[in-house]
Amino acid sequence: MPYTYQYPRPCVTVDIVVFRATDRGYDILLIKRKNEPFKDAWALPGGFIEMQETLEESAARELREETGLTGVELHQLGTFGDPDRDPRGRTITVAYYALDNTNTEVKGEDDAADAQWFPLSSLPSSLAFDHDIIINTAINTLSYLKNETF
């Protein structure tokens, strides 16, 4: 008989912040959500982990499935777990960041209705979940690591 755990189990997701350098600064890759919650809102690529994947494998899969982007080097950014971050229930996300130098054309696939690059200076005013917090954390982290302004 499998072990029964007495504590509730949260869901685990991954989210990916992908930057690319342009002649006008940096862009960030966002997807338009095809499904609820936050249907039609812009969000980071990401989703639920599968039971046999590592976190990094989940992040790479979600990025590929939702945008078609592959071949970027993923780096773990941090963990975000505000109890109210996802209206579907208690969900903890492990966020990754990447710098894209592939010039791959992106397109919304799987559960993403669209995928687009946005200049950091003109991101949509309202993002799904707590993705504004994750993006700001990534900007601050990369600014510190790269010693440049994003």
Residues 6+ apart with CB under 8 A from 108: 31, 32, 34, 66, 67, 114, 115
- 70-114 confidence digits (pLDDT tens): 999 999 999 999 999 999 999 999 999 999 998 889 999 999 999
Q: Is 1 a domain residue?
A: no
Q: Give me the pLDDT at residue 148, please.
A: 61
- 119-128 confidence digits (pLDDT tens): 999 999 999 9
Q: Is 4 a domain residue?
A: no
Mean pLDDT of 121-147: 92
Q: Is 90 a domain residue?
A: yes
Structural domain including 108 reads 11-146
Q: Give me the pLDDT at residue 46, please.
A: 98
Q: Give me the pLDDT at residue 144, please.
A: 78
DSSP state of 73: P
- Rounded-to-integer distance, Cα 120 and Cα 116, Å: 12
Q: Give me the pLDDT at residue 1, please.
A: 56
- Rounded-to-integer distance, Cα 104 and Cα 107, Å: 10
pTM: 0.93
**CATH number of the domain encompassing residue 53:** 3.90.79.10
Q: Is 44 a domain residue?
A: yes
Q: How many separate domains does the chain show? A: 1
Q: Is 24 a domain residue?
A: yes
Q: Is 105 a domain residue?
A: yes
Confidence of residue 11 (pLDDT cuts 50, 70, 90): very high
CB atoms within 10 A of CB 113: 15
Q: Is 110 a domain residue?
A: yes
Q: Is 5 a domain residue?
A: no
- Rounded-to-integer distance, Cα 48 and Cα 50, Å: 7
Do residues 69 and 29 make contact, with C-beta atoms less than 8 angstroms apart? yes
Do residues 129 and 43 make contact, with C-beta atoms less than 8 angstroms apart? yes
